[in-house]
């Protein structure tokens, strides 16, 4: 009887271990959870909504104005004002689709401090490298002053910005590259935490996913909204999936 009981326990432990080894992607809300009532892309409401439904992370986009203010917005221009060439007063007075004003990074991070969601910070590529570097100085100081350094992942399309963030952010801070042309080996050599590539790039190079994991790197795909594509990411054991439909992805997981 004791032998049979031991066998049952061993089999149960084996099955449990097998189940735990399956990789379940983390859900990242793209520009917050904005496809819902009262929300808008990169709004304060969008990060609150992403947190309210239990997303792992909420992605947002950051520019610096001509007079040195960090603001949260996706496009390079808002209502005709090119953000990196405009003064903060002009940019911050513009309305989002839900009626909120374009938020400062300071206000956005203050909101994030009181939430549990991880902050996925996209630094937008600036035309002038000096301005981008100044933005990095300001954002790192702000994140540190708010005690959020251990709750932020940085992502960027700027290769120079990626390398500077890797060099200047606190040791161990995850920094991911978005542009899609660097191999896993190149990302590892650069010190990146992994690749954060458009889904089509990963579908064209699926071997990169396993290679990243072999190198200790993580993989995210953006922006994945259709059920078939979400399932592809789940089947290929991505670490993160960035989506405009986080509730659909959550239901699939």
The CATH fold assigned to 24-252 is TIM Barrel (3.20.20)
Quote the CA–CA distance of 251 and 229 in Å, as a whole number.
Answer: 14
56 C-beta neighbours (distance < 10 Å), count: 18
Condensed to tens digits (0 to 9), the pLDDT of residues 156-193 reads: 999 999 999 999 999 999 999 999 999 999 999 999 99
Kindly report the pTM of this predicted structure. 0.91
The domain limits of the chain are: 24-252
| Structure token pair of residue 228 | 């078939």
In the predicted model, what is the mean pLDDT of the chain? Answer: 93
Average pLDDT over residues 216-235: 98
């Amino acid at each position: 009887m004791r032998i049979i009981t031991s066998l049952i326990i061993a089999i149960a432990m084996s099955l449990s271990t097998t189940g735990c080894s399956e990789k379940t992607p983390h859900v990242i809300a793209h520009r917050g959870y904005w496809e819902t009532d009262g929300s808008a892309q990169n709004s304060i409401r969008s990060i609150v909504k992403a947190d309210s439904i239990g997303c792992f992370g909420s992605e947002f986009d950051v520019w610096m104005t001509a007079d040195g203010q960090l603001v949260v917005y996706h496009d390079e221009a808002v209502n005709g004002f090119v953000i990196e060439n405009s003064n903060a007063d002009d940019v911050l007075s513009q309305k989002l689709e839900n009626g909120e004003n374009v938020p400062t990074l300071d206000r956005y991070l203050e909101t994030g401090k009181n939430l549990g969601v991880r902050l996925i910070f996209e630094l937008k590529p600036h035309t002038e490298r000096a301005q981008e570097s100044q933005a990095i100085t300001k954002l790192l100081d702000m994140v540190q002053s708010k005690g959020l350094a251990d709750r932020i992942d940085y992502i960027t399309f700027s290769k120079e910005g990626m390398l500077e963030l890797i060099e200047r952010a606190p040791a161990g801070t995850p920094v991911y590259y978005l542009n899609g042309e660097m191999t896993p080996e190149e990302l590892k050599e650069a010190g990146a935490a992994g690749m954060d590539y458009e889904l089509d790039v990963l579908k064209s190079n699926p071997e990169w996913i396993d290679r990243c994991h072999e190198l200790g790197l993580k993989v995210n795909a953006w922006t994945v909204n259709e059920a078939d594509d979400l399932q592809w990411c789940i089947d290929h054991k991505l670490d993160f999936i960035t989506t405009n439909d986080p509730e659909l992805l959550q239901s699939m997981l």
